[in-house]
Amino acid sequence: MKFDNEKGLGATPMGGNILYMGAVAWIKPSVFRKLAMTADRSEDAKKLEALIRDGKPMAAPFLIIRVHGEPDAPTKVTVQSHEGRARADAFKAINGDVPMPVQLHPSGLRARNLSVAFFKYLEDNGLVAEQSDSTVALHATEYFWNGTRVKV
């Protein structure tokens, strides 16, 4: 399976510039779905699955997040919006519920504002799901930030 954040299925301008805009977390599609507002995207997912199986690359799904407090010591991190439920479902149909890249775009911040402490916070405390009070553990296998892989 190929990913292309500039020209792949579901690509957006900010996704093509993730090194400046935020970070990437490797999380399971089921975790992404718990964080994004619920909706049935099964028909779109089937169409995307066929295109991906035919060799078309897809862009990584993304979460726009709000960091409450300082990025080095957040008090809470919430999901404001998302893109990619159908892509997450198509990925899961092809690969199973294994970690996939999910872009994290911190609202009002950029990659330079984040730190290893921020990713440790995410692993220890999770994210508050979109339009919910439920906290979801990420269990990310790793993060990609500032051009390097970060394990916490």
pLDDT at position 44: 94
Tell me the residue range of the domain where 134 lies.
Answer: 15-145
91 contacts: CB under 8 Å, gap ≥ 6: 1, 29, 52, 58, 100
Domain for residue 38, yes or no?
yes
Token pair, residue 31, equals: 């975790």
pLDDT 10s digits, 102-143:
999 999 999 999 999 999 999 999 999 999 999 999 999 899
Amino acid at residue number 100: M
Domain for residue 1, yes or no?
no
Nearest to 67 by CA among 26, 36, 110: 110
Domain for residue 152, yes or no?
no
Domain for residue 65, yes or no?
yes
101/71 Cα distance (integer angstroms): 21
> What percent of the chain clears pLDDT 70, i.e. is strictly above it?
100
- Into how many domains does the chain fold? 1
Domain for residue 25, yes or no?
yes
Domain for residue 89, yes or no?
yes
Domain for residue 3, yes or no?
no
pLDDT 10s digits, 70-84:
999 999 999 999 999
